[in-house]
A = this chain, B = another copy of it.
Amino acid sequence: MEPSLATRVGKIQLERPVMLASGILGISLDVFNRLYRAGAGAVVTKSLSTEPWDGYPNPTIFSVNDGGWINAVGLSNAGAPNFAKMIETNKDVPIIVSLVGSIPKDFEMMVKEFENCKITAYELNLSCPHVAKVGLEVGDDPELVKKIVSAVKNSTNVPVIAKVGLGTTHYLNTVGAAVDSGIDAITAINTVRAMVIDVETQRPILSNKFGGLSGTPIKPIALRCVYEISSKYDVPIIGCGGISTWEDAVEFILAGASAIQLGSAIGENSIHVFNDINKGMLEYMKRKNYSKLEEMKGLAKKS
């Protein structure tokens, strides 16, 4: 029997385990449809704010020598109201709406906007490392995280995911706060705060100076976070960070993730990466005699 790539992330049922991560190609429904056809199990939107944001001036993204990317796009986005209008016509694509804000009210307002949209889940960005007053600055404050998660959970029946990253407090406390407040799943991790300086012009290359490191360099860090979360909390996990091959994807499942997200790999391998990973995982499952992804979940913790 052909094994199945279908997976369940708590209440979220997906046909395929590899999602598009937030902020990657995440601004247009047409592109979402294309990515879904290309093998993505779901797409996460660019993180949306209550109003449109222009983001930072360029340079905002480039690649780091020896692999990986650094970005400080600055959460440019069309704003939740505009975005909701754009995806109103969505029928096919499992869309996860990423939200960013500073206080519970921001999130409540945005969730209202999507009431008429067909969406699969919300993902709360508690972990962007390069924009003031949102993202990590929220995630680093577990008390605020509790208030935001509770507020969103009270505003919608759609599953809610919290996306965490490495900040200035222990990310496991952020996970704990979200779990205590009824979160449905955790995405780990966001980019890691970083910098690149050009030695000829003697200045940081990003216009924002600081940005977030993504791609292969952060994979072993992200993997240990997934392993740590799944060892400590009974919460469904979406692994994210540096995944570019089926082996990477399997590593995260073995560490305890129920699904994964990727972004940077598209910059190296184009959107074929979704199908390449799907195929590789299927072959692996056949070879190892698994019929369902679930059977592999967390196996590395048994050793």
Contacts and interface: CB of A to CB of B under 8 A. Distances in A.
Interface residues of A, number: 44
A284 B67 contact: no
A254 B70 CA distance: 19
B67 A67 contact: yes
Interface in A46-89: 64-68, 70
Given A168-B172, A217-B66, A217-B218, A223 B250 contact: no
A217 B68 contact: yes
Contact of A224 (B210, B220, B227): B210
A197 B255 contact: yes
A194 interface: yes
Interface stretch (A9-17, A22-30, A141-149, A199-207): A199-207
Looking at chain A's contact residues, the main secondary structure is mixed
A38 interface: no
Contacts of A219: 64, 66
A5 to B, nearest CB: 16
Contacts of A168: 169-170, 172
A66 B67 contact: yes
A166 interface: yes
Given A193-B224, A197-B223, A197-B300, 13 more contacts: A66-B219, A68-B217, A166-B166, A168-B170, A196-B223, A196-B251, A197-B255, A201-B303, A202-B299, A203-B300, A204-B300, A204-B303, A210-B224
A219 B192 CA distance: 12
Nearest to A215: B66
A169 B199 CA distance: 31
A166 B189 CA distance: 15
A247 interface: yes
A109 interface: no
Contacts of A221: 192-194, 213
Interface string A278-302: 0000001000000000001001100
Contacts of A299: 202
Given A203-B300, A300-B202, A197 B251 contact: yes
A169 B255 CA distance: 24
Nearest to A65: B216
17 contacts: A65-B216, A66-B217, A67-B67, A67-B216, A168-B172, A194-B223, A197-B223, A197-B227, A197-B254, A197-B300, A201-B303, A203-B300, A203-B303, A204-B300, A204-B303, A213-B220, A217-B220
A266 interface: no
A179 interface: no
A216 B66 contact: yes
Contacts of A209: 227
